[in-house]
Chain A
Amino acid sequence: MAVVNRLNCKIGGAAGSGVAVLGALFAKCLQRAGLEVVATNDYPSLIKGGHNTHKIGASAEPMSAIVGRYDLLIALDKLTIELHAQELNEGGAIIYDSDKVKNAEELASRKDIMLVGSPLTQMAAKAGGEIMFNTVALGAAMGMMNVDFSIMEKLLTSIWARKGQKVIDANIAAARAGYDSVKAQNGSFRVQIQEIKGKKPQMFINGNEASVLGAVKAGCKFVAEYPMSPSSSILHLMAGHDFDYGIIVKQTEDEIAAANMIAGAGAAGVRAMTATSGGGFALMAEALGLMGIAEIPAVIFESQRAGPSTGLPTYTEQADLLFALHASQGEFPRVVIAPGDPLECYKEAINAFNIAEMVQTPVIVLLDKFLSEASLTIEDVRVIPAKVDRGKLQSDEQMEAQPGFKRHTFTEDGISPRSIYGQKNGMYVCSSYEHDETGFSSEAPDMRVAMIDKRAKKLKSIPDYIIAPSFSGADEAEAQILLVCWGSTKMPMVESLKLLAADGIKARMMHIRYASPFAARAVLSALTKAKKTMIFEGNSEAQMRTLILQKTGYHIENAYLRYDARPFKPEEIAEAAKKMLKK
């Protein structure tokens, strides 16, 4: 009996051999067929050589992480068969180039799977160029699962539209050749895809892309960035859309320049951002404090990779939490947000820009390699209300009526009306030194205390509903265990809840998005009401557990920590929770 609309596929090959392109096309085909899709990747920090894989999960039901073994393996080289054949389900299949791999049986060394070899490269050459061998492979894969060919045809047409009809035709011919080549196997493969019709079109998007989209929606107009994996695709995507959305995108000489540039742009009244990873963020530390003391709004996306130092550039970790919270000398308010999936990246990017201006302080959005590059199907984000709130930014008209304006005026909530350069009555010196209400340097003890208190107060005006943790899974009253996570660990944990439920275990998840300000009361309440608690983090020191203890006094005794620079798997979270419950 075939499985309908539930597929796990792995694509493997040498770096630079087209794994990423094939992965993207494959995922997109299934998305267009109306399925929910998850795609993640794994690659070394190399341009050519080294082993790359893309994993794609598809299902009729919403999903946020791949669960279980694979059904299909597309092997762009021998090594992929050797390394991954054992990960296949019984009845799974391997698609490979029969000209390049002559000993597939031997490499796979199992009899319970289908070996689907065809001369992919030769067929591509016939269709118009060897380079299209991955389009042939795509065609073969879709043919095995009986995906309607028109879906692929439409996809290839839109993807290659810029290159002209000739390229489109050649790609369609290549896909067709692959599709027809598996006619013999047609119907015998264990997974069959049936198009789900009448569904609203969904977006297929990763964390970096969703962050960019959110930033653009929020009215970000200035991006200064120095490339660093895994944040660089933010720079590329912004640069690729600069003229479309009127955004100035500046590649800077270093991260110090990037952070100081957005400080200047922020003071001048534009919504400005930078993106980096931990190493670049380290270089931004001093400018972060400048934004703090000078009350400049700006947004910094920090996509964590495995550290310390250069670390593992293309692998994931959640080990910059306490660094993001404490970077820079002295004390000043900052906001640290760790979205859990691409949809939250979009929403929190908008929140980040609004909060930065409302509170007039830097906002750090913590991503990580896994989230930055994990693609998920999400609802069309245009249905999400997105309001631009510029806080106490004064209009030109408001400023006209305010002679004697003081930029850092003491107020009830600590937030002062804000002028920008060029406005009448708005002149002031935006200073890195401690200052009085006008911005003039002051080292008087009373003024010092007043200013520290003023700035610290500002975070209190961020509403509770924004910073509250989110919950899912079993109800609070009946849950046997509360699983705690933050940032990208949400994606595998959501799937682990389903696995536990299938085993009759009632588990509840608490996902913490805001590390600063911290929703101490809500978090403490959930922890104290839980029968058992356990935290899952992608670091070795249980940094969120430390933060929770510091903010609430509650110590979560059980921690499951993963620091091999790989993301959590839903199965291991479920296993760990079960083990804990047995204790």
Chain B
Amino acid sequence: MTTVAELNSGHMPQWCPGCGDFGILIALKGALAKLNISPEETVVVSGVGCGSKIPHFIKTCGFEGLHGRSLPPATGIHLANNKLTVVAIGGDGDGCGIGLGHFMHTMRRNLDFTYIIQDNEIYGLTVGQASATTKKGVITKSTPHGTPEDPINPPLMALSAGATFVARGFAGDIPHLTDLIAQAISHRGIAFIDCFQPCVTWRKDLPYDLYQKKCYKLEKEGHDTSNWDAAVARARETERWPIGVFYKIDKPIYTDQIPFIKDTPIAKQDISNVNIDKFVEEFL
């Protein structure tokens, strides 16, 4: 039985008091415990940013890669050993700025893992520049006249790329987020969660109570998660901010196309003496 206590790494998170990343960490642990997933068979893969330090604060396997590059190693780990539970996670700068290319391509592959964006609409770790999700007109250190361009909409991008599970969560609603993450991990295929993450230091203009006021739950209002157009319409809303599952469908996953890992992942296959006779014959 995996418990939340068991998932404590023993390292104190180095986030600002009140940071939304605490809520996300608690929800991630809760989801793993809820699903009773073995920590040894779980890999939390991140990039670089405040939020990306999360692998150190949860007692599972971890991969803390390069800024913007959480998804390629997550893909490599998943394909190397598709029996593992892989959760990729990182900031909005990580996923929608420097790593946007990987984001789109990973969404279209329907690999069987989860990707969470800790979306605080700012570059936290580098002390407060505008990110790709910062709304137009917001004054940050790098945009003293206000952000000059419109933001990227992560759920909309994921939907357009063909993701088979697209959701949004809020770090201030931990039970709801825990459930979302559990659903995402359980989903067979790529699962994406854009997670509102209040930054109490650099986005004082986006406090918890504003999120609370603006957010509403899709499941409460009634939303057909199998309807892509409806999902797109919800994802495009700007006045009110929907949280919950936008879209979920079942489709064959990437690894269904790889017959030789049905039983044994490549990481566990014997390589001590590969027979290359047939290959050599091609050159004789």
* Chain A residues at the B interface, C-beta cutoff of 8 Å: 201-205, 209, 213, 216-219, 221-222, 224, 241, 243-248, 250, 252-254, 256-272, 286-287, 290, 380-382, 388, 420-424, 426-433, 439-441
Contacts and interface: CB of A to CB of B under 8 A. Distances in A.
B60 interface: yes
**SS class, residues of chain A in contact with chain B:** mixed
B74 A264 contact: yes
A427 B101 CA distance: 30
Contacts of B69: 256-257, 260, 287
Interface stretch (B134-142, B146-154, B185-193, B276-284): B276-284
Contacts of A290: 65-66
Interface stretch (B76-84, B115-123, B213-221, B231-239): B76-84
A205 B280 CA distance: 10
B61 A271 contact: no
Top 7 closest A-B pairs, CB basis?
A219-B271, A264-B76, A264-B73, A429-B62, A260-B72, A268-B80, A265-B76
B40 A246 contact: no
B63 interface: yes
B76 A430 contact: no
Given A270-B267, A421-B81, A431 B64 contact: yes
Given A264-B72, A272-B80, 11 more contacts: A216-B279, A219-B274, A221-B80, A253-B105, A261-B73, A263-B72, A264-B76, A267-B77, A388-B272, A422-B61, A429-B56
Contacts of B210: none
B56 A421 contact: no
A245 B258 contact: no
A247 B265 CA distance: 11
A235 B269 CA distance: 22
Contacts of A203: 280, 283-284
- Which of B56, B76, B259, B283 gathers most chain A CB within 10 Å? B76
A428 B61 contact: yes
Contacts of A380: 280, 284
Contacts, number: 190
Interface stretch (B25-33, B41-49, B163-171, B242-250): B41-49
- Which of B53, B65, B260, B272 gathers most chain A CB within 10 Å? B65
Contact of A430 (B63, B66, B268): B63
Nearest to B70: A260
A381 B283 CA distance: 10
B266 interface: yes
- Which of B41, B66, B261 gathers most chain A CB within 10 Å? B66
A420 B267 contact: yes
A275 B271 CA distance: 21
- Which of B55, B102, B269, B279 gathers most chain A CB within 10 Å? B279
Interface of B: 11, 39-41, 43, 45, 48, 53, 55-56, 59-66, 69, 71-77, 79-81, 83-84, 101-102, 105, 258-261, 266-269, 271-274, 276-280, 283-284
20 contacts: A205-B283, A213-B280, A216-B276, A222-B76, A245-B279, A253-B101, A263-B76, A264-B65, A266-B76, A270-B266, A270-B267, A287-B69, A381-B280, A422-B267, A427-B39, A427-B59, A427-B61, A431-B55, A432-B65, A432-B66
B57 to A, nearest CB: 10
Contact of A261 (B39, B76, B267, B276): B76
A267 B266 contact: no
Contact of B63 (A243, A267, A269): A267
Contacts of B277: 382
B61 A421 contact: yes
Contacts of B276: 213, 216-217, 381-382
B102 A253 contact: yes
A213 B260 CA distance: 20
B75 A429 contact: no
A566 to B, nearest CB: 26
Given A246-B266, A421-B43, A423-B40, A265 B77 contact: yes
Contact of B280 (A221, A222, A270, A382): A382
Contact of A268 (B84, B259, B272): B84
B276 to A, nearest CB: 5
Contacts of A224: 72, 76
A263 B40 contact: no
Contacts of A382: 276-277, 280
